[in-house]
Chains A and B, each alone.
Chain A
Amino acid sequence: MLNRLDDMLNFHTQALRVRDQRQQVLASNIANADTPNFKARDLDFNTALQGALKGAGTAAGMAVATTAPGHMKGAPGVGADAGLLYRTPSQGSVDGNTVDMDAERAAFTDNAVHYEFNLTRLSQQIKGMLAVIQG
């Protein structure tokens, strides 16, 4: 029963983690808009989410070390550098920086709205489950 509950909440939890990770990557891009030779990065949300759902994100060195057979594996998550790609610059600049401020800010806002969406859906699921449990 508990496992099913976990399965139900799992999708949006993992989506939130990927959104969380992506928000940080985009924040790094915006922060480095004036840094020479900085290359803007992003992650492909679809691939990252599939990876997180399958637990493949742990392959990137984020797995919890287990020293005894009884130890738990830890929650699969998004790896630090898992699936981080470099953006193709739309307009090159002389200092080698590839941050396009408009694109980054649009992506940042878009990601924030999607994060809120996932949060709302998760909240609704929890409320729904509580209603069922409490009758």
Chain B
Amino acid sequence: MSLLNIFNVAGSAMNAQSQRLNTVASNLANADSATSANGEPYKAKQVVFAATPVGVNGATGVSVAAVVEDASPMKMVYDPKNPLADDKGYVTMPNVNVVEEMVNMISASRSYQSNAEMMNTTKTLLLKTLTLGQ
């Protein structure tokens, strides 16, 4: 019964998308964190998705292969009064691009919705299959 496998596929995708949403939330929340526990400014994080086989019948789900740090350059803000400023008066701020993160958030939530809808359709089909011949 491949239909039952769809729950695993959609579930893995929803899990991956929610992890992506989590990263977006973390990035947005720390868009202005000039320092952190290790003394460095916050670096934007991105998830990397990978297709993973789910179950036995060739179904492909999604998993988060890695959470990588964004390689884009840090923002330099001129603020000589800030205690974190260097000798030229610049403060290193996180490389979070708020517009990019918002787009990422919308994309993740739409994908999550599609998967939830897919699960609903599958559930309807399975329930109808159970009433076969009645």
**Residues on A close to B: CB < 8 A?**
20-21, 23-25, 27-28, 30-36, 38, 80-81, 84, 101, 105, 108-109, 112, 115-116, 119, 122-123, 126-127
Instruction: Give Cα distance in the complex from A36 to B46, angstroms.
Output: 13
Tell me whether B39 is interfacial, beta carbon within 8 Å.
Answer: no
B56→A80 contact, CB < 8 A:
yes
Known contacts: A20-B1, A116-B128. The answer to whether A31 contacts B121 by CB under 8 A is no
The A/B interface has a contact count, at CB < 8 Å, of: 97
Instruction: Give Cα distance in the complex from A126 to B133, angstroms.
Output: 6
Known contacts: A27-B10, A116-B125. The answer to whether A21 contacts B57 by CB under 8 A is yes
B3→A23 contact, CB < 8 A:
yes
Chain A residues positioned under 8 Å from B111 (CB to CB): 33-34
Instruction: Give Cα distance in the complex from A28 to B58, angstroms.
Output: 9
Tell me whether B122 is interfacial, beta carbon within 8 Å.
Answer: yes
The chain A residue with its CB closest to the CB of B6 is A27
Tell me whether B68 is interfacial, beta carbon within 8 Å.
Answer: no
Q: Which of B9, B49, B129 contacts A27 (CB 8 A)?
A: B9
B132→A27 contact, CB < 8 A:
no
Number of residues in B with C-beta < 8 Å to the partner? Answer: 38
Q: Which of A27, A119, A123, A126 contacts B118 (CB 8 A)?
A: A27
B114→A32 contact, CB < 8 A:
no
The chain A residue with its CB closest to the CB of B20 is A34
B121→A32 contact, CB < 8 A:
no
Q: Which of B48, B51, B58 contacts A80 (CB 8 A)?
A: B58
Chain B residues positioned under 8 Å from A112 (CB to CB): 121, 124-125
Q: Which residues in chain B, 74-116, are within 8 Å of chain A measured between CB atoms?
A: 107-108, 111, 114-115
B57→A80 contact, CB < 8 A:
yes
A-B contacts, 24 of them at CB < 8 A, read: A21-B57, A23-B122, A24-B2, A27-B59, A27-B122, A30-B10, A30-B13, A30-B115, A31-B9, A31-B10, A31-B13, A31-B60, A31-B118, A32-B49, A32-B61, A34-B17, A34-B108, A80-B58, A112-B124, A115-B125, A116-B128, A119-B128, A119-B132, A122-B132
